[in-house]
Amino acid sequence: MTTFSFTRDRIDENELRKQLLDPTAGGYSSFEGWVRNHNEGLPVRHLEYEAFEPLAIKEGERIVAEAIKRFGVEHAACVHRIGDLAIGEMAVWVGVSARHRAEAFLACRYIIDEVKHRVPIWKKEHYVNGDSGWVNCERCAAPTTTDVPHAHAPHIHAPHAHVPHAPGTAHTTNAHGSLNHDTHTSGAAQTHDTHAPHAHNHDSHHHAHAPDTHRAPIDRGATRQAQTPSAAASLATTHARLAAPVSDYSRQMALKEVGAAGQAKLRASRVLVIGCGGLGVPVISYLAGAGIGRLGLVDSDHLEPSNLHRQTMYALADVGKLKAELAAERVRELNPDVDVRAYKLRLDALNAPDLIAQHDLVIDCTDNFSTKFLLNDYCVQLRKPVVFASVYQYEGQLQIVQPDSACLRCVWPEATRDGIVGNCSEAGVLGPVPGIFGGLQAFEAMKLLLNLPGQLKDELLVLDLLTLTTSRVRTKRAHACPEHATSRATAAQAAAVARTNAARDAGPEGANAAANTGPQSANTPTNPLELSFDTLDQAHEAGFDIVDIREPYELRETPTPSAHTRNLPMAELLHGQPSFKPTRKTVLVCATGRRSLAATQELRENGFADVFSLRGGVRGLLARQFT
């Protein structure tokens, strides 16, 4: 028989019981959950059940298989109603046949408890004056307080054995135990040869029934078997988990656009988040709270104290630890339902295709253009939607690339060099700015996963938080799309493989060099782009002009450590009139070496071969002087 199924028709427990008959089985236990006419003082008229059947059936079958293996029973099955149920109708049935009644008891209890907590089933209670809205059935699972197999906690009535008459076996007539399933079931345990005393819980006024010994003899062997260490440990583990709080999605499921079906979609979704920083923290928090089935988190950075004003998921004590690991741990604390996987690496042309292919949706929370365009190219190639966001001081922008929509290269055919636009550490940022844009990314992601209206497509949303003005810029799909993205993805992967192979052939030193080499273009110059000096005066003595491309406010905070320099902010250097034309060897200086490297690359491509970047920038110089 089918081990787990749903039905919209009345459950025929007698027919189901026949399907579990087995001449090797001497014990049988069943559980029935019925719809009752009240809940927490409110009169109930009827209730509805719904489920995301493909996912629910798979999980239900897994639970039954676990029970069969764990308790060594012969057969087990569970049937759950969906649709509209009247008062008194059976909502769920579980049956187990086993060689002995102890295993049957435990397996029956295990199945209903696990179904309650793991299978995506939702209910709606209809009262005289309204309804409850769709509620995940996990919310209704009551914690248990005892680890004795035959005495159960409030809301639960113990299943009782039915042992078919067979030579050499005790004959106990059929008895059913009823669970307060979703707080709407009722019933009493009955047996013709035992009387079951009541153990009352005076707060909830529900009963736990346990078999007594004053009329019928006890099978001592079965009792000892029921309390073996393995069985007791299994039951204790189940009880401990049931006592813990469970995730509650009722507030978002109350939205008619979400409901039970929408929640099931979220649970079945797999989302890849690139970057666990200022944008990533709100994205990760909101998606985990919403019950996304799987979250993949990619980040190779370690937490720094300067991150904490905007990356509020972390604590000061976490400084120095990997963000991906920290974020994954926070997700597990927030919502144990989420399957979270930390990838402690930097996304590149070698690992991106496989990571992206494993997920339904990608969210870019990085602060560099090379990764954004790499993501764009591979997501276009693999036809995966990707949600982009960028932040600069008090403003930011949001763009979604979907299959058949305009992509980043439709707007910017060539990737902007990293360093041309300052990131948070260079340009500065207030904490709420990336928080707001990360929240928008999370919301747009849920709109995609739930297929909600108003999705951002073929548009670039720009928001200035100082003035609270928004602009929507239409983007048009280029004639070269998607080839201009897919061809670059193919070329990037081929180049990365070639570099890896060359490094492997060159031995350990070559491998280290390859590991420290970022994305390169076909016309990368052979002259080194970066130079190192102990002091800027040393560079001056070597015949270099020194140009500090930092902004005036940066110079006021940290003056250039040399008198032989001139200041020319980066924008003027690259786009000023008259244009910058170095007449001799020139070294460009910025705070960290990032912007000066980007400017050097730009000038090299314009024909200025004797321009170099100071490795590590002013901070690197000062660090070397004080170490």
R_g (Cα) of the chain, nearest Å: 33
The helix/strand/coil state of 220 is: helix
Which residue ranges does the chain devote to CATH 3.40.50.720? Answer: 269-478
Q: What is the dihedral of CA 179, 180, 186, 191, to 10 degrees?
A: 20
Please state, in angstroms and as integers, the Cα–Cα distance from residue 82 to each residue in 5, 36, 85, 121, following that order. Answer: 10, 16, 8, 9
Identify which of 230, 239, 250 has the alpha carbon closest to the alpha carbon of residue 290: 250
CATH number for 269-478 (one of 2.60.300.12, 3.10.20.90, 3.30.360.10, 3.40.50.720): it is 3.40.50.720
Beta bridge partners of 530: 613
Domain over 525-625 is classified CATH 3.40.250.10: yes
pLDDT at 236 (0 to 100): 52
Predicted pLDDT at 491: 82
DSSP SS3 for 473: strand
Please report which helix (H) or strand (E) contains residue 124, including its range: strand 121-127
The predicted pLDDT at position 609 comes to 85
Sequence-distant (≥ 6) Cβ neighbours of residue 377 within 8 angstroms: 409, 485, 486, 488, 489, 492
Amino acid at 206: H
User: What integer pLDDT is reported at residue 261 of this predicted model?
Assistant: 86
| β-pair partners for 613 | 530, 588
Any idea which fold 4-249 has?
Answer: Aldehyde Oxidoreductase; domain 3 (3.90.1170)
Q: What is the pTM of this model?
A: 0.54
Question: How much is the pLDDT for 627?
Answer: 58
Q: How far is CA 240 from the centre of its chain?
A: 25
Contact of 585 with 601, CB cutoff 8 Å? no
Q: For residue 315, give the amino acid letter.
A: A
137: closest CA among 50, 7, 241? 50
| d(C-alpha 481, C-alpha 464), whole Å | 30
- Write down the pLDDT at residue 495: 81
Query: Do the Cβ atoms of 49 and 195 come closer than 8 Å?
Result: no
* Confidence (pLDDT) at 159: 38
Q: Can you read off the two tokens belonging to residue 130?
A: 């309204």
> How far is residue 233 from each of residues 71, 149, 228, 237, 327, measured CA to CA in Å?
12, 11, 8, 6, 32
User: Where are the domain boundaries for CATH 3.40.250.10 in the chain?
Assistant: 525-625
Cβ atoms of 482 and 425 within 8 Å: the answer is no
- Please work out, in degrees rounded to the nearest 5, the angle formed at the alpha carbon of residue 368 by the alpha carbons of 395 and 426: 60
Using 50 as the pLDDT threshold, list the residues of the chain that sit under it: 139, 142-229, 231-232, 234-235, 238-239, 241-242, 513-526
29: helix, strand or coil: strand
3-state SS class at 500 = helix
| Dihedral angle sign, alpha carbons of residues 456, 461, 465, 466 | negative
| Secondary structure letter of residue 393 according to DSSP | B
Per-residue pLDDT tens digits for 289-343: 999 999 999 999 999 898 898 999 999 999 999 999 999 999 999 999 899 999 9
Enumerate the CATH 3.90.1170.40 domain ranges in the chain, comma separated: 4-249
Helix axes 229-243, 101-118, angle to 10 degrees: 20
First to last CA, the chain: 75
pLDDT value, residue 327: 95
Alpha carbon of residue 408 to chain centroid? 25
Give the integer Cα–Cα distance in Å for 536 and 546: 8
